[in-house]
Structure 1
Amino acid sequence: MTHVVVVGGGYAGVIAANRLTQRDDVAVTLINPRPTFVHRIRLHQVVGGTHDALVDFRKVLSDRVRLLVGAVDRIDPAAREVTLAGGGSSGGPSGGSGGGAVGGPVGYDYLIYAVGSGSARPDVPGAAEHAHPAATLEEARALRATLAEAPGHAPVTVVGAGATGIEIAGELAEEGRDVTLVCGGLLAPALHPRARRSVAGRLARLGATVLDGPGSTVTEVTGSAVRLDDGRELPSAVTVWTVGFGVPDLAARSGLRTDAVGRLLTDETLTSVDDPRVLAAGDAAAPSDLPLRMSCQTATPLGAHAADTVLARLADKRPAPLDIGYFGQCVAVGSRAATLQIAARDDTAKPFHLGGRPAGKIKATALEYLTHHLATEARKPGSFTWRFKDGSRARRLRAKRDEAAALNH
């Protein structure tokens, strides 16, 4: 029996664990800090108080996967085992949260590293002390509690103009809050200018103020204000920080090579450059040091691909290289509207977008359909397919290698 340990129960980890159950001679253990699956792309709704973002693992995880609740403290590649902080507890194959303490390290034949991402520590004075991140369930819940204690008319400043900042600003503005979104440059920089105007228009209709362009970079955060680089000072009873993402340092602490952000370095099959028994998927993976966009749209096919690499090796077949592309992204702006940006397969924004309530319905469908993908893979492992391919990745990799070779001469 081959034992595969999957570290992290997000989108990448769950679909990888489910997919591995195609073989009866593979035992799978999923290690996750929480006993419940967090539907992370709903965290802005946790902040807005409109959803709890929780899904019972029994709905998305195969009953052949053993759930072990705990945090991995260290990976020992030489011994092929992981050590849990505080022991952990076993949820059994059904994905429940019961079970007793599990003592000692957990051994593996293969390990899939799918620890996800979280908030990056801000380097702006006062931000770490006075601003509230929202990249994890615990952070989103804490922010919601802080907002509940603040008067309804109190000014709220959301810093960061990516999808997370826009979606949180939209939720709070729709709630009737006095919201200012501070962009530090362009609003929604990944979107085409036409789609960007759609987002700006919807935020304005909800009553949110958008500060973008020159002079909109935060230079200091205090307990009652946000200061900008053009000298403006904005009163802010609650400041939300959505700038940047970081990854756990587990790989680095375990002696595995990472990129500058801390993502595990792999080849194009998602295999660690240090150990053929360790693979990575999701936000914490850096294939060929050319990582893909951090998103659920990336995590799900990467999780499936990592599992396929393990299954190929067990079948004495050559694992396939990555071939994952994009279709765009859909950003919610309030509970009923969104902006759907269509993209090329290499994730470059195209001029076409869909806005308003039609896009809002697509966003709502996507929120439901993502967990449906996981549940279907649990029932029918191997059924998940990703139709979007990026044929330009090989060309970009060659260019990167040529550039590196030129620098070494």
Structure 2
Amino acid sequence: MDKRIEVVVVGGGYAGVMAANRMTQRDDVTVTVINPRRVFVPRLRLHQFVGGTHDAVVDYREVLAEGVELVVGTAAGIDATARTVTLAEGGGIGYDYLVYAVGSAGGGPRVPGAAEFAHPVATLEDARRLRSVLSDTPTTAAVTVVGGGPVGIETAAELAERGRRARLVCGGVLGPNLHPSARRTAREYLTRLGVEVIDGPDTSVTAVRSGAVELADGRTLPSQVTVWAAGFGVPDLAHRSGLRTDAAGRLCTDETLTSVDSDRIVAAGDASAPSDLPFRMSAYIAGCLGAHAADTVLARIAGERPAPIDLAFPAMCFSFGRGAGIFQLLHKDDTPKRLYFTGFLGRKLKEFSCAASVKHLVTEARKPGSHHWPKDGEHRPALLRARSGNVTTPTE
């Protein structure tokens, strides 16, 4: 009897689930997903969970392919030589191939007082704690959301629509991924909801205190609840396991998403850094990278040469409470086009995108290998050629 090929996926988010489902194309592959939670968390919904308009959980039975085993636990270490994953709860799991899809948890607050007095919103546990704090806080209390990106904008808007006195401190530009005209519309939506927007130079938060935040321009603003929605961070599992990482802790890979340290480890999602030129944090991108990571593993199993990642960026979207949204179309190089959709249509497209991020997983579970994405073939290769001296060649 032929030996089965054991594939372990560390992380059960968008990238990990997509990779696990796609791997079931081969009957001789056994797939195990290690994840610390028993439920799938669609992170695009966490701001809604905080505002009380969505549960932000999906049963894994709905999104994981039949036959994929879910191990509820936390990966404490990876031994690339012995090909084992050690669990924090005890014991370990061996693998022939490993997909590293641990995701991101937001940037840890690094300003004085933030760890003590600010509330992140990057994980389900964070969102639960913040929701509990808000439930014990009067709606008239000042709430400061730190971060002018999608998470900050959507959280501030959601809270304001629920009657909260919300302020958004951008630390720079409001919605940096938006076209300037779309950015003006975003400001209008936030203002209409009653959100005070503080953006521009010297608006970064330099300290968080009990009941206040301090800005780089010297202002001290009252803040009974401070929400931290800025920065980027990933779990340090790869670093602790002796695998090479970039400055942010993402696993260093080549363009096929294969670890530079082991051709049996492939990375996907927010925690991957192909050629030290990582993609931005995005559920859409995570799903595509998860699919490509699976394709890389399947190619290696078949004795074929894996292909480099090729990914274009069609759009990104923002919700402004339940009544409006902005759906920003993008060039293939991830820069905004002049064309975007707003209002009711923008909200419908945003909702469609959120639902699609889960539906793609469900479809891949039922028809593994079916997920496709738009290709670029131009901009990333040009960037890599421009810095060819730093490009990592595929591991053989």
Instruction: Provide, for residues 9-62 of structure 1, a one-character-per-residue CA deviation record: whole Å limited to 9, x for no partner.
Output: 000000100000000000000111001100111011111111111000000001
Q: Which amino acid aligns with 1:225?
A: A
Q: Which amino acid aligns with 2:337?
A: K
Say whether 1:78 aligns with 2:45: no
Find the counterpart in structure 2 of residue 113 from structure 1.
100
For the residue of structure 2 that corresponds to 1:373, the secondary structure is: helix
TM-score scaled by structure 1? 0.93
Q: CA deviation at 1:328?
A: 1.8
8 Å Cα contact 1:272-1:278 kept in structure 2: yes
8 Å Cα contact 1:194-1:353 kept in structure 2: no
Q: Percent sequence identity over matched residues?
A: 60
Find the counterpart in structure 2 of residue 339 from structure 1.
326
Find the counterpart in structure 2 of residue 210 from structure 1.
197
Aligned mate of 2:51, from 40, 48, 52: 48
Find the counterpart in structure 2 of residue 92 from structure 1.
none
Say whether 1:292 aligns with 2:279: yes
8 Å Cα contact 2:313-2:374 kept in structure 1: no
Q: Which amino acid aligns with 1:35?
A: R
Aligned mate of 1:12, from 10, 15, 23: 15
Aligned mate of 1:158, from 130, 142, 145: 145
Instruction: Provide, for residues 334-360 of structure 1, a one-character-per-residue CA deviation record: whole Å limited to 9, x for no partner.
Output: 112111111101101112211111100
8 Å Cα contact 1:327-1:388 kept in structure 2: no
Find the counterpart in structure 2 of residue 361 from structure 1.
348
Find the counterpart in structure 2 of residue 139 from structure 1.
126
Say whether 1:65 aligns with 2:68: yes
Q: Which amino acid aligns with 1:158?
A: V
Say whether 1:21 aligns with 2:24: yes
Find the counterpart in structure 2 of residue 282 from structure 1.
269
Find the counterpart in structure 2 of residue 256 from structure 1.
243
8 Å Cα contact 2:275-2:391 kept in structure 1: no
8 Å Cα contact 1:44-1:167 kept in structure 2: yes
Q: CA deviation at 1:105?
A: 1.4
The whole-number CA distance in structure 2 between the counterparts of 1:247 and 1:174 is 31
The whole-number CA distance in structure 2 between the counterparts of 1:351 and 1:402 is 34
8 Å Cα contact 1:336-1:361 kept in structure 2: no
> Kindly tell me: are residues 388 and 401 of structure 1, through their superposed partners in 2, closer, same or farther at Cα, counting changes over 3 Å?
closer
Name structure 2 gaps, 5 residues minimum.
none
Q: CA deviation at 1:388?
A: 3.9
Q: CA deviation at 1:403?
A: 7.4
Q: How does 1:180-195 map to 2 (within 5 A)?
A: 180-195=167-182
Instruction: Provide, for residues 60-116 of structure 1, a one-character-per-residue CA deviation record: whole Å limited to 9, x for no partner.
Output: 0011101111000000001000010113xxxxxxxxxxxxxxxx2100000000000
The whole-number CA distance in structure 1 between the counterparts of 2:276 and 2:201 is 32
Find the counterpart in structure 1 of residue 211 from structure 2.
224
8 Å Cα contact 1:18-1:62 kept in structure 2: yes
The whole-number CA distance in structure 1 between the counterparts of 2:76 and 2:52 is 32
Instruction: Provide, for residues 111-166 of structure 1, a one-character-per-residue CA deviation record: whole Å limited to 9, x for no partner.
Output: 00000000222221111111111001100110010011000111100111000000
Deviates more, 1:213-222 or 1:318-327: 213-222
Find the counterpart in structure 1 of residue 183 from structure 2.
196
The whole-number CA distance in structure 2 between the counterparts of 1:270 and 1:314 is 15
8 Å Cα contact 1:184-1:215 kept in structure 2: yes
For the residue of structure 1 that corresponds to 2:88, the secondary structure is: strand
The whole-number CA distance in structure 1 between the counterparts of 2:167 and 2:13 is 31
Aligned mate of 1:271, from 245, 258, 262: 258
TM-score scaled by structure 2? 0.96
Find the counterpart in structure 1 of residue 386 from structure 2.
399
Name structure 1 gaps, 5 residues minimum.
88-103
Q: CA deviation at 1:231?
A: 2.3
Q: CA deviation at 1:215?
A: 3.7
Q: How does 1:355-394 map to 2 (within 5 A)?
A: 355-394=342-381
For the residue of structure 2 that corresponds to 1:123, the secondary structure is: coil
Q: Which amino acid aligns with 1:156?
A: V
The whole-number CA distance in structure 2 between the counterparts of 1:217 and 1:285 is 28
> Kindly tell me: are residues 390 and 53 of structure 1, through their superposed partners in 2, closer, same or farther at Cα, counting changes over 3 Å?
farther
Q: CA deviation at 1:230?
A: 2.1
Q: How does 1:293-312 map to 2 (within 5 A)?
A: 293-312=280-299
* RMSD over equivalenced CA pairs, Å: 1.3
Find the counterpart in structure 2 of residue 327 from structure 1.
314
